[in-house]
Amino acid sequence: MSEIPLSHPRRISLETRAKLTDGVRQGITSFDGLIAHGRGEAFDYLLGEKTHGFAERAIDAAAALLISAKHAVISVNGNAAALVPRELGALSEILGKPLEVNLFHASRDRELKIREHLLVHGARQILLPDEDFVITGLASNRRFVNGQGIYRADVIFVPLEDGDRCEALIQSGRKVITIDLNPLSRTARAATITIVDNIVRALPLLLDRVKAPLEDLLKDYDNSRTLREAEAVLRDRKSMEFKL
Ligand code: PTJ
């Protein structure tokens, strides 16, 4: 990672980018992952680069759903692995639920490197996809899942997802929690719970919340309200604080 001055006003954003470019160099993140991050950054900028109340409520509801699930699985792609490996490992350990590597851009080599990277950062239960287990209604590489993981899961946490898999998982009767800075995306709209926030801010908050019993919060949660509130912030030019 090149040296980023401590005083740089965009330090956090530049450090986050550097995690992804390092991820590409290590063979964890795909080149396409850099473009996907750029799209996320643009939405984050318009949302003021902060965690809003609608995201906090979604995080509470996500924590409650993960705690109450019978077989929850945390799905990991090349971006999530590069940005929050330690938090993903800690979440899996606290919940006692496995991580499962699941990639859009097929690569056995990247799957193995992501597994290794997660192990180094403290994860212990890491599943890999298996061509014998397939999610129906899905054409991409993401259809291949693990028989002990996503295949039998009732709740799947899929940060930075693509719309096709989210829709296919919902169609199959599973519940989906996602993190997506774009409240207009197909994933955001199809998911059971959408955390409209940057994964680098949302994951530490979620980790904190799963330590408390939160079942009651799930009852009042309304995902369409979350998306309406996030979209309103995006469209309200007065609320934007433009920074460099
Ligand atoms: O590692 P792979 O092969 O599984 O590929 C992973 C990517 C992310 C490249 C793949 O899933 C993809 O192409 O995703 P999309 O369809 O571009 O969607 C990614 C979504 O995540 C977009 O809606 C972005 O706005 C959003 N996003 C990007 N970076 C962040 C984010 N949301 C939250 N936090 C971020 N840091």
Query: pLDDT tens across 81-97, in order?
Result: 999 999 999 999 999 99
CATH number of residue 121's parent domain = 3.40.50.12640
CB 84 within 8 A of CB 200: yes
Mutating to test ligand 1, I would choose from 79, 128, 184 the residue with most ligand atoms within 8 A of its C-beta, which is 79
Other Cβ atoms closer than 10 A to 107:
14
201 domain residue, yes or no: yes
pLDDT of residue 238: 65
CB 101 within 8 A of CB 126: yes
Considering the entire predicted model, what is its pTM?
0.94
CB 154 within 8 A of CB 72: yes
16 domain residue, yes or no: no
Name the closest-CA residue to atom 13, ligand 1: 36
CB 58 within 8 A of CB 195: yes
100 domain residue, yes or no: yes
Range of the domain at 226: 53-233
Q: How far is the CA of 161 from the centre of ligand 1 (A)?
A: 6
Other Cβ atoms closer than 10 A to 236:
10
Per-residue model confidence as pLDDT tens digits over 151-177? 999 999 999 988 899 999 999 999 999
CB 196 within 8 A of CB 226: yes
203 domain residue, yes or no: yes
pLDDT of residue 29: 98
User: CB neighbours of 84 closer than 8 A, spacing ≥ 6?
Assistant: 199, 200, 203
Per-residue model confidence as pLDDT tens digits over 122-144? 999 999 999 999 999 999 999 99
pLDDT of residue 244: 43
CB 122 within 8 A of CB 93: yes
187 domain residue, yes or no: yes
Q: How far is the CA of 216 from the centre of ligand 1 (A)?
A: 31
CB 76 within 8 A of CB 38: no
Per-residue model confidence as pLDDT tens digits over 32-56? 999 999 999 999 999 999 999 999 9
Q: 180 in ligand 1 pocket by Cβ < 6 Å?
A: yes
Q: What is the mean pLDDT of residues 66-76?
A: 96
Q: Tally the domains of the chain.
A: 1
169 domain residue, yes or no: yes
44 domain residue, yes or no: no
24 domain residue, yes or no: no
